[in-house]
Amino acid sequence: MPRVRMLTTRDDVPASAHDTFDGIAESRGRISGPFAVLLHAPEIAGRAAHLGAYIRFEGILPAPVRELATLATAHAWGCAYEWAAHEPQALKAGVAAATIAAVSSDSSLDAVPEDDALVIRVARELVTNHVLDAATFEAAQTRFGEQGVVELIATVGYYSMLACVLNAAEVVPTTSA
């Protein structure tokens, strides 16, 4: 059971937060997971939702890159909710099941396609070491360009923040994650 009350209906939030609630619900179809926690601080919830909408729907990274970065971040943080929410999206976006299995088992990346391995290394290094090795940064910048590498790093940062919220609040996946 989560450590905080999950705010999933409009009646759960004060009237001053209704616009924020409505915007998040409209863009995502419902309020769940991290936003059901973040709405305890409506300004943070709204700003996080705005950033998330850019990362998920407007950025330049292709969906498979974005979803793989999300999964690698979720796994590195041990965030079961984030993993459950994004594994189906990664498969739908075209991330190979073998690549997802390599992430979930912390396997060597030798058998993973080069571009996928690069995305996984970026996430693993940022979450584990808090920095990117110079060679990893250079490879990511060469592959994705300056804007792309910044968006990739920001994607890892965004999903790290959500993983912190979900893990700290002990939000676990459900069948409707």
Per residue in 22-48, pLDDT (tens digit) is: 999 999 999 999 999 999 999 999 999
Task: Please write the tens of the pLDDT for every residue from 36-91.
Answer: 999 999 999 999 999 999 999 999 999 999 999 999 999 999 999 999 999 999 99
pLDDT of residue 157: 98
pLDDT of residue 177: 46
* Residues constituting the chain: 177
pTM: 0.95
- 63 to 58, 77, 132: CA distances (angstroms): 10, 21, 22
Q: Are 66 and 55 in contact (CB under 8 A)?
A: yes
> Class of 63-168 per CATH?
mainly alpha
- 79 to 72, 76, 115, 162: CA distances (angstroms): 10, 8, 24, 9
Domain chopping of the chain, boundaries: 10-58, 63-168
pLDDT of residue 175: 60
Q: Residues 89, 59, 44, 27: what is their CA dihedral angle, to the nearest 10 degrees?
A: -60
